[in-house]
Amino acid sequence: MSSVHVEALKKTYGAVHALDGLDLQVAPGTIFGFLGPNGAGKTTTLRILTGLARPTSGTAQVAGVDVLKDPGKLSRRIGHLPEEPAFYGWMTPREFLDYLGRLYGLSASARRARTRELLALVRMEEVSKRRIAGFSRGMRQRLGVAAALIHHPEVLFLDEPASALDPAGRKEVLDLIGNLRGQCTVLMSTHILADVERVCDVVGIIAKGRMLVQSQREALLERYAIPAFEVEGDDQAGLSLWVETLRRLPWVMSITPRNGAFRITVRDVQSAKRDLLALAVNSGISLNRYEEVRPSLEDVFLQLVGSEGLA
């Protein structure tokens, strides 16, 4: 049985189709990356699945609960971290988690134990008595995850959990999400491909309110793999001229600049392996780096979303 099961979900706002027949299944214990460009329908989906909005049509079940028929029961089965979580700034993390535990009916001893457990999980024991108002964005996101887990939810929904964080804060939050693997089902909505590639087991790519593809991460990379090579050299002018000659070859699909190098996607790997270096030598080009590269989730994303006219 799926932890999240969605069929033909639609949500319209006048003439705008935020969701247009979305299908989605998330297996128990999965860290699911819900990926799409801005405006694709990710937040609308999360609002419906957490009981904050109603669809125009379609069905949705979370943790075995029909989200349309029993929203009260749903709230006790799920945790939710919105993109910008709200706190009482005058409280400390310990006080805030205890307060939430009271709302969920936890006993005093259960609240104390759960608060200690969660503060350790999000590595906030040392700041547990500081006022939340003085916390950084990364600290507030970690506390938000702890708050969403206070009642042992079966499914945790995260809306852009690391989008506004600096590199250090992003690493902390992503490490935390990775540590939740096996403890509950996690559905993480984001447009940051590197975050999904780092922590998610399964990826669903949405565009224009429809699911384009849903697959295990590695299977997705294999399925949509486009053979590519990267080359880099000191003589940028000479390298650029050489690249222009490559564009005319039938086995070259595309060439794009990337961080001072060029990525060459090809139709025929064997021709590329045989001819690329020879062509560089014949052109008098000295390469610092020549590498056959593994496709990234970004490559797959751009390929799929580009086919929808969104890239």
pLDDT in tens, 67-126: 988 888 999 999 999 988 899 999 999 999 999 999 999 999 999 999 999 999 999 999
Burial of 119 (0-12, 13-18, 19+ CB in 10 A): buried
Distance CA 170, CA 177 (A): 11
Which domain-ending residue is among 206, 222, 238? 222
Nearest to 99 by CA among 61, 143, 66, 52: 143
* Boundary of a domain, candidates 222, 248, 270: 222
Q: Please check whether residues 102 and 48 belong to one and the same domain.
A: yes
Please calculate the CA angle 13-35-75 and round it to the nearest 5 degrees.
65
Is residue 242 a part of any domain in this protein? yes
**Count of CB atoms within 10 A of residue 245's CB?**
12
User: Is residue 146 over pLDDT 60?
Assistant: yes
pLDDT recorded at residue 296: 74
Task: Quote the CA–CA distance of 211 and 4 in Å, as a whole number.
Answer: 14
pLDDT in tens, 255-284: 888 777 888 888 888 998 999 988 888 888
Burial-class residue 309 by CB neighbours within 10 Å (0-12, 13-18, 19+): exposed
Residue 286 in domain: yes
Tokens 């003085």 locate to: 134
Can you give the residue range of the structural domain that contains 290?
Answer: 228-294
Contact, 204 vs 34, CB < 8 A? yes
260 with 142, same domain? no
Structure tokens that stand for 33 in this block: 């990356």
**217 and 256 co-located in one domain:** no
Indicate whether 258 and 205 sit together in one domain: no
User: Can you give the CATH number for the domain in which 203 is found?
Assistant: 3.40.50.300
Radius of gyration of the chain (CA): 23
d(CA 11, CA 20): 7
Please report which confidence band the pLDDT of residue 311 belongs to, taking 50, 70 and 90 as the band edges: very low
Give yes or no: residues 106 and 162 share one domain.
Answer: yes
Residue 244 in domain: yes
Q: Average pLDDT, stretch 201-221?
A: 90
Taking each continuous run of H as one helix and of E as one strand, the counts in the chain are 11, 14
- pLDDT tens digits, one per residue of 3-51: 999 999 999 998 889 999 999 999 999 999 999 888 899 999 999 999 9
Rounded to an integer, the average pLDDT of 153-164 is 91
Residue 285 inside a domain? The answer is yes
Local confidence band at 221 (pLDDT 50, 70, 90 cut-offs) = confident
> Residue 130's pLDDT band (boundaries 50, 70, 90)?
very high
Spell out the residues 6+ positions from residue 253 whose beta carbon is closer than 8 angstroms to its own. Answer: 226, 265, 266, 267
Q: What's the CATH number where 290 sits? A: 3.30.70
% the chain with pLDDT above 70: 98
Q: How many CB atoms lie within 10 A of CB 10?
A: 15
Q: What angle do CA 72, 78, 80 make, to 5 degrees?
A: 110
125 within a domain of the structure (yes/no): yes
Based on the domain organization, do 144 and 245 belong to the same domain? no
Q: What's this model's pTM, rounded to 2 decimal places?
A: 0.82
Q: Residue 9 in contact with residue 60, Cβ under 8 Å? A: yes
Q: Which residues pair with 203 in a beta bridge?
A: 33, 215
CB-based contacts of 42, cutoff 8 Å, min separation 6: 34, 35, 36, 159, 189, 190, 191, 206
As for how many domains the chain has, the answer is: 2
- Specify if 310 maps to a domain: no
232 with 218, same domain: the answer is no
